[in-house]
Amino acid sequence: MKQPLVNPKSSVNDPELQKLIAFYNETLGFCPNSVLTMHHRPIIATSFIEMNKAVMENKGRVTSALKRLIGYISSYTAGCNYCQAHTIRAAERYGAAENQLENIWDYKTHASFSEAERAALDFAFAASVIPNAVNDEIANTLRKHWDEGEIVEILGVIALFGFLNRWNDSMGTQMETGAIESGNKFLKTKGWSVGKHAY
């Protein structure tokens, strides 16, 4: 794409949105251009941020770092370079182990991932392909390691990134400097690039 489908708002004079943007200053260190684009219809931006906060809230065993790694696998599966960079950055900021960040593609075999984490990441992959590939084997393995509330949390992350992957790849959202830095740090050796998200 030669330019984003819709440009993000350059200035947002919305005190309520500014409060919600603080969530991203914590998770990413900046407000994503995707949210500023959504703000052309403010209720979409504010509703999305509230959904994001609800999905990413740490309830216990599905840690904040693991949620971001689930988001990464979901985004990698969907092919959204924008969301891959954002999720790997957020996973680092939320304390994911360096070994996990550097070996996320090898989660099935790498020693830094537990069987429970593998089950969640396998589910993220199967739930993110089209057509959907969640089957009894995937579901039974997931149930072995996670209770029903935790499975709802995991699927909440996958579904949230289903929305974001489609939004950002279709919009051609311009990638922010911080996201590019994280993508280059952790993902470039495996073929990641800014792709359509650079202008």
Q: pLDDT tens digit string along 128-146?
A: 999 999 999 999 999 999 9
The pTM for the full model equals 0.95
pLDDT tens profile 61-108? 999 999 999 999 999 999 999 999 999 999 999 999 999 999 999 999
Interatomic CA distance for residues 126 and 162, integer angstroms: 12
Q: Quote the CA–CA distance of 139 and 92 in Å, as a whole number.
A: 28
| Residue 75 · residue 165 · CB < 8 Å | yes
Which residue in this structure is represented by tokens 């509330």? 149
SS (H, E, C) 133-171: CCCHHHHHHHHHHCCHHHHHHHHHHHHHHHHHHHHHHHH
Q: Positive or negative, the Cα torsion across 21, 24, 25, 26?
A: positive
Please tell me the distance from the alpha carbon of residue 120 to that of residue 154, in angstroms, as a whole number. 7
The pLDDT tens digits of the residues spanning 99-137 come to 999 999 999 999 999 999 999 999 999 999 999 999 999
Contact assessment for residue 127 and residue 158, using Cβ atoms and an 8 Å cutoff: yes
Report yes or no: 126 and 135 within 8 Å, Cβ to Cβ. Answer: yes
List the CATH code of the domain at 16-191. Answer: 1.20.1290.10
Report the candidate in 167, 172, 177 with the shortest Cα–Cα distance to residue 28: 177
Structure tokens at 153: 């949390």
Look up residue 127 and give its DSSP letter.
H
